[in-house]
Structure 1
Amino acid sequence: MFGSLEGRSAIVTGGSKGIGRGIAEVFVNAGINVLITSRTQADLDRTVGALSGRKGQITALVADVTKPEDSRTAVATAVEQFGGLDIVCANAGIFPSGRLTELTPDDIEQVLAVNFKGTVYIIQAAVDALTASGHGRVVITSSITGPITGYPGWTHYGASKSAQLGFMRTAAMELAPKNITVNAVLPGNIMTEGLAEMGEEYLDRMAAAIPTRRLGSVADIGNAALFFATDEAGYITGQTLVVDGGQVLPESPEAIAELYQD
């Protein structure tokens, strides 16, 4: 049995949609007070409206993770509203597609700015507040794409997600004396708004490549992030948790077919 996190506070970047919203929902249901950030006020308003009235409070702030000053503002806002900051979920990310031979410098910079630099900036901004907490937790949303697998069109995305993990390991060492842990969740194929737009046929093909024969839910990632936020996970740092329904396990499509031939 894990201890209660009720009354603790968190920032979830990119928290208005997709995996970020899933993390925010799991957290407020657990009694954590959550500040979500996004670049779009309308998306934030919808999420706050949907997640209000839970055990934890939810508030929102328009912020761009590529701007260090916005990260500092987010941390200051969370501390002011909740009396401190215990958890940072560096979740904001983009995943535009582009083949290697077609990528422009701007394409590469955009992905690295959001996915990698945005992760660094929010954690940098939060160090003092997390130290004051006495049990600071950082959870990075990475991906299986890049650190473990590859997919055509996502060389720049995969590189950004691998960069997060290289950063994580040394950040975990540097922040350990401050009683701050730094870990990462690596989602596989998770059902989000963007994925749903790909159509039923595409989703069925994706599910067929997963041993559990289903796509993950945003709550699956939220629950993993919640685990890393617990006191019971306080001796775990610099580690990754793959949440993918076993997607990275089969050596070929035939291996999955063998599972279901009966």
Structure 2
Amino acid sequence: MSSHAGHVALITGAGRGIGRAIADAHAAAGARVAYVDYEPALAEEAAAAARERGCEAIALSADVADDEAVGLACRRAAEALGTIDILVNNAGISPKSGADGRRAQAWEMSPAEWRRVLDVNLTGAFNCMQAVVPGMREIGRGRIVSLSSVAGKTYCDIVGVHYAASKAALIGFTKHLAGELGPYGITINAVAPGRIDTPLVRGTAPEANEAARLATPLRRLGSPEDVANTCLFLTSDASGFVTGQVCDVAGGWLLT
């Protein structure tokens, strides 16, 4: 029997990259999966590919920063697939600033840019949590995983202060909610990826990626599947006594 058979997973930012790998892993493990993305075409393409592989999947579009849109998406997912008992908060942004593609330094960042990143990366996780927890409480079981980052734990030169602050805040979000949600049979954990082979990383200077590779004990960049497999464990029954934790998926880059 597949490890996630009988469960319903909602994955945000599931149209591409790490989010799609996470959604695909849950679908392959037997879960019924809602692929949620800001871009409808990406969500539908990913969900359609999952259905072609024999998985049960639907596509939904929502801006996670919009609580009403999130609520509607979650209701549609529950109507189509059943009560959501797995949530992975993957949706996030790390915008570039300026015509030269350089990331804004903290003192030159616009207030609007700061707010937008916090709204998507942090408030988006809050909105999704609020939408699914009532159903999880009702059935007495839930798994929530939020994508933080090593940039939320230490300086990382390829992201801005807004991104780092949002990812650090997700760690506090996770630890506090572990205490609130635990009595209802709901676990919540965070995953902190290191340098993962994604379009964001490929867009940085090759020498920076090579330096990161050499600084990583496993001597490679991570893959989206590395992150997906960790999330899959944290949403499984096997992780039932794990909550409030931050799991680095960084090849040993942050050894403490």
Counterpart Cα distance in 2 of 1:113 and 1:77: 23
Counterpart Cα distance in 1 of 2:69 and 2:142: 20
Residue pairs, 1:103-142, within 5 angstroms:
103-142=109-148
Counterpart Cα distance in 2 of 1:171 and 1:111: 21
1:26 aligns with 2:32: no
CA distances 1:65-100 after superposition (whole Å, capped 9, x unpaired): 000011111211121111211100011001123211
1:80 aligns with 2:82: no
Q: Which residue of 1 aligns with 2:100?
A: none
Q: Quick one: structure 1 residues 3 and 60, their matched pair in 2 at CA, closer, same or farther if it must change by over 3 Å?
A: closer
Which AA in structure 1 matches 2:40? Q
Q: Which residue of 2 aligns with 1:63?
A: 62
Question: Is residue 149–residue 191 contact of structure 2 (8 Å, CA) maintained in 1?
Answer: yes
CA distances 1:92-116 after superposition (whole Å, capped 9, x unpaired): 0011232112111111101100001
Q: Which residue of 2 aligns with 1:173?
A: 179
Q: Which residue of 2 aligns with 1:48?
A: 47
Counterpart Cα distance in 1 of 2:84 and 2:158: 39
- Secondary structure in 1 matching 2:190: strand
Query: Unaligned 5+ residue runs, structure 2?
Result: 96-102
Question: Is residue 143–residue 187 contact of structure 1 (8 Å, CA) maintained in 2?
Answer: yes
Question: Is residue 3–residue 232 contact of structure 1 (8 Å, CA) maintained in 2?
Answer: no
Q: Which residue of 2 aligns with 1:256?
A: none
Range with bigger deviation, 227-236 or 119-128: 227-236
Counterpart Cα distance in 1 of 2:154 and 2:80: 39
| Alpha-carbon offset, residue 152 of structure 1 | 6.3
Counterpart Cα distance in 2 of 1:77 and 1:233: 28
| Match for residue 196 of structure 2 among 186, 190, 198 | 190
What's the RMSD between the two structures over aligned residues? 1.9
Counterpart Cα distance in 2 of 1:67 and 1:228: 26
Counterpart Cα distance in 1 of 2:215 and 2:2: 36
Counterpart Cα distance in 2 of 1:143 and 1:190: 10
Taking only the aligned residue pairs, the percentage that are identical comes to 37
| Alpha-carbon offset, residue 35 of structure 1 | 0.5
Q: Quick one: structure 1 residues 199 and 155, their matched pair in 2 at CA, closer, same or farther if it must change by over 3 Å?
A: closer
- Secondary structure in 2 matching 1:88: strand
Counterpart Cα distance in 2 of 1:69 and 1:26: 28
- Give TM-score scaled by structure 2 length: 0.90
Q: Quick one: structure 1 residues 122 and 9, their matched pair in 2 at CA, closer, same or farther if it must change by over 3 Å?
A: same
Question: Is residue 149–residue 248 contact of structure 1 (8 Å, CA) maintained in 2?
Answer: no
| Alpha-carbon offset, residue 61 of structure 1 | 0.6
| Alpha-carbon offset, residue 218 of structure 1 | 0.7
1:210 aligns with 2:216: yes
Query: Unaligned 5+ residue runs, structure 1?
Result: 251-262
CA distances 1:201-222 after superposition (whole Å, capped 9, x unpaired): 5543432232211111111111
Counterpart Cα distance in 2 of 1:220 and 1:86: 22
Question: Is residue 64–residue 70 contact of structure 2 (8 Å, CA) maintained in 1?
Answer: yes
Counterpart Cα distance in 2 of 1:91 and 1:171: 17
1:237 aligns with 2:237: no
Question: Is residue 98–residue 153 contact of structure 1 (8 Å, CA) maintained in 2?
Answer: no
Counterpart Cα distance in 2 of 1:218 and 1:128: 30
Q: Quick one: structure 1 residues 176 and 75, their matched pair in 2 at CA, closer, same or farther if it must change by over 3 Å?
A: same
